């Protein structure tokens, strides 16, 4: 679609983008020009979220569907952690790590598409960084 104009994501989609990119909650209102939301990288992310073209918003929306699916299956995989073997079926002992890795990979892809580095709570190689 050429000549696309700016399109905005819904507030829940913006929340998901921040979460998956590893940035903290934005909050409900501005308190002046202080705080994390005015740091350069966070500001760049917010600017991009507000000024996406229609085509870019579609790409981000599709990526969020994929990321939410990975998050859901990751949460569901903990139900198998107590079973090492059941009949001929044996669980994949690396399932949670593998699912975290896919979630981290797609989170990094979202960050790359938006042109921002993963935030302080971002997933890197399946590990969550706490700063």
pTM (2 decimals)? 0.72
CA pair distance 108, 126, nearest whole angstrom: 11
CA pair distance 124, 25, nearest whole angstrom: 19
Domain ranges of the chain: 11-128
48-101 per-position pLDDT tens digit = 998 999 999 999 999 999 999 989 988 877 666 556 666 666 666 788 888 888
pLDDT in the model for residue 77: 76
CA pair distance 74, 98, nearest whole angstrom: 9
Contact (CB, 8 A) for 17 and 113: no
Task: For residue 15, give the nearest of 67, 72, 76, 77 by alpha carbon.
Answer: 67
Phi, psi of 127 (to 5 degrees): -105, 140
């Amino acid at each position: 679609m050429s000549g696309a104009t700016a399109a905005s994501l819904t507030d829940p989609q913006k929340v998901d983008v921040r979460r998956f990119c590893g940035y903290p909650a934005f909050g409900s209102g501005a308190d002046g020009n202080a705080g994390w939301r005015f740091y350069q990288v966070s500001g760049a992310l917010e600017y991009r979220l507000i000024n996406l073209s229609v085509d870019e918003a579609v790409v981000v929306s599709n990526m969020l569907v994929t990321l939410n699916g990975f998050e859901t299956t990751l949460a569901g995989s903990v139900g198998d952690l107590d079973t090492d073997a059941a009949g001929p079926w044996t669980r994949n002992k690396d399932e949670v790590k593998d699912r975290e890795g896919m979630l981290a990979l797609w989170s990094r892809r979202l960050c790359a598409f938006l042109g921002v580095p993963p935030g302080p709570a971002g997933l890197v190689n399946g590990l969550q960084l706490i700063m």
